Amino acid sequence: MTVQERIAQDDAKAAKQAVAAKVDGRLLDLSAPAPEGLAVQPILPGSPEALDILRHSTAHIMAEAVKALFPGVKVAIGPAIADGFYYDFEYSRPFTPDDLPAIEEKMAAIIKANQPFACQMVPKAEALARYRAEGEPYKVELIENLDAEAVSIYQQGGFSDLCRGPHLPATGRVGAFKLLSVAGAYWRGDEKNPMLSRIYGTAFFDKKELKEHLRLLEEAKKRDHRKLGRELELFSFHEEAGAGLVVWHPRGMLLRYLIEEFERQEHLKRGYHMVQGPQILKRELWERSGHFDHYRENMYFTEVEGGAYGIKPMNCLAHMLIYKSKLRSYRDLPLRYFELGTVHRHEKSGVLHGLTRVRAFTQDDAHILCTPEQVGEEILGVMRFVTDVMGIFGFDYKLELSTRPEHSIGSDQDWERATDALTQALMRSGRPYEINEGDGAFYGPKIDVKLTDALKREWQCATIQCDFTLPERFELTYVDSEGAHRRPVMLHRVILGSIERFIGVLTEHFAGAFPVWLAPEQARLLTVTERADAWAAEALEILRQAGVRAEADTRNEKLGAKVREAQLMKVPYMLILGDREVDERQVTPRLRDGSNLPSMGLDQFIARVGEQTRNRRD
């Protein structure tokens, strides 16, 4: 009996709709034999698992189409990814966007043919011989690295691929798809390996879902923070300066200052102490912490007077040195150290992306040293902090608990204690969360906060890491109520994460139209004629003295042109100054959405902006 037949015994409708099944936590093809004595759960369209299966299957269909259209092409890998799928190919020339329509047409024919996906277990030696004969070196390499006597190969039509599966029952189950772009990608992500052509696409069960997704992609292009960063004169990158290194322009630096000042105020409210550590620390300290063994490839090193130093990729070491600078009592705890600390990490050039992936960035980093009895409440305090801040910026978010990775330091007991502390705090918070197996830091598990922006995309920002290991390595202690020396627990946490990354996300979230309290330029005075120039100069000084971030445009240009330029720069208020405004010493505010407010005095306008800034609401 097949899995599909087993499902049909309980629910004939579900058996027809299902794309695969889950049995004892494993995903299986509908055509697979049904295991005896185990419950079979249908995977239905609308579930995340079904979408992944659909997209992975569509990647195979794309590979079949490419093989048919481009003789001699070699196939590499083609996984499902967050918003679609891709497949890597080696060909005599790179693929271009002009190739995509023909590939889509061939894919549509394959889908219409409704070819079944068939899985076959093949002895490893036979599979190697098969793909060597077909001239598929990447498949051969993948099989050679598998520790298995047999491998699974999926066939649809005339195309076969090494794959774990599962897949759709047949190609005809693909509802809607679209090929999106092409790019270069090194085999296995290593620049020493051949450069392959990567084709990206996406797929959905429903055409309406595809249409909405494509709409969001177009909107994302308009909101691309790299594009807006240039247009709004926020920041730039320069090859002569180095890849992944941000140059902040006046408007961008002001935006950054406003966010950082907001952060300082919010941390001081919550009992944090501001600190700062050096940019470089001796190599021995990084060896002691475990960073040298577990994070060395992401670090930069330098030499000073014959001694080796590491440029810091994280801020925790200096914070522990501050803690160790004097004897601590249980009465001193918890201690919360906060630093807007600039760090440097060696990211490969292929993954650099605007502000969201850079080599030098500033973290709103804090380390909380507390007793084991305090750790649960401190974790909850950070979670409340996250909720408050994300609410101010208008983000919803979800939570993940990331557990011990394969390469880590610390005892099993300490990892269990840390994981339990985070789990208990999550349960007490009442918020749902998911488990992200094996993605914790090398020194401890963590709670990751994935915020959702205006385009429904998820971004990793805040994190809370629970660490029993580094306090042990650095011999941190406090004196308890009975005079005994005990080991504190350390929480590593960020709220926004990388300031650079957060500004990139924020720019796209607001499409560059930052709320009044964050706008680098809150108001621009626009004169209608030269007669208003004197009032513009006086009004500008009054506004600035009142704390309003304002500029004046007194050029001999038409008012319409001045308004358009201010709107392009996303200025919240354009203050029109004509003859009436000069005579009455008023301004007429125009909003960036094109609507107008009644004329008002400067005091009234200043009060309006002040209220919006204090309340952090437009």
**Residues catalogued as catalytic:** 316, 345, 363, 365, 367, 446, 492
First to last CA, the chain: 62
Torsion angle defined by CA atoms of residues 114, 115, 117 and 120, in that order, rounded to the nearest 10 degrees: 160
* Burial category of 82 from C-beta neighbours within 10 Å (exposed 0-12, middle 13-18, buried 19 and up): exposed
Cβ-contact 249, 235 below 8 angstroms: yes
Amino acid at site 173: R
Please, which residues have CB within 8 angstroms of residue 557's CB and are 6 or more apart in sequence? Answer: none
In order, the DSSP letters of 323-353 are HTTS--BGGG-SEEEEEEEEEE----GGG-B
Q: How far apart are CA 119 and CA 533, in angstroms?
A: 78
Residue with tokens 């944090």: 272
Alpha helices (H) in 456-597, listed in sequence order: 469-473, 499-509, 533-545, 559-568, 579-584
Number of Cβ within 10 Å of residue 197's Cβ equals 22
Q: How far apart are CA 153 and CA 297, in angstroms?
A: 36
Q: How far apart are CA 401 and CA 426, in angstroms?
A: 9
Q: How far apart are CA 17 and CA 615, in angstroms?
A: 50
Cβ-contact 154, 167 below 8 angstroms: yes
Amino acid at site 437: E
Cβ-contact 346, 496 below 8 angstroms: no
Cβ-contact 356, 437 below 8 angstroms: no
